[in-house]
Amino acid sequence: MPECPVCGAEPMISDDPVEGELLECEECGVELEILALDPVTLGEAPDAEEDWGE
């Protein structure tokens, strides 16, 4: 199972993953992108860290 690059968890991958598909790591909430298939490799999807107001 591929690992989340940020927290090392094993996020759930859909049955027929597609390159470029976005998914969220259930544990650390980071947005991931499927970079390649067999084997599925994951990378952090670029998203601006939104300022949460404080």
Residues engaged in binding other proteins (CB under 8 A): 5-9, 27-30, 47, 49-54
Residue 22 to residue 29: CA distance in whole angstroms = 12
Strand (E) or helix (H) holding 40: none
Q: Which is nearer to other proteins, 8 or 43 (CB)?
A: 8
Q: Which is nearer to other proteins, 1 or 18 (CB)?
A: 1
Strands annotated E in 1-54: 22-24, 31-36, 41-44
Q: Which is nearer to other proteins, 21 or 24 (CB)?
A: 24
Give the shortest CB-6-to-other proteins separation in angstroms.
7
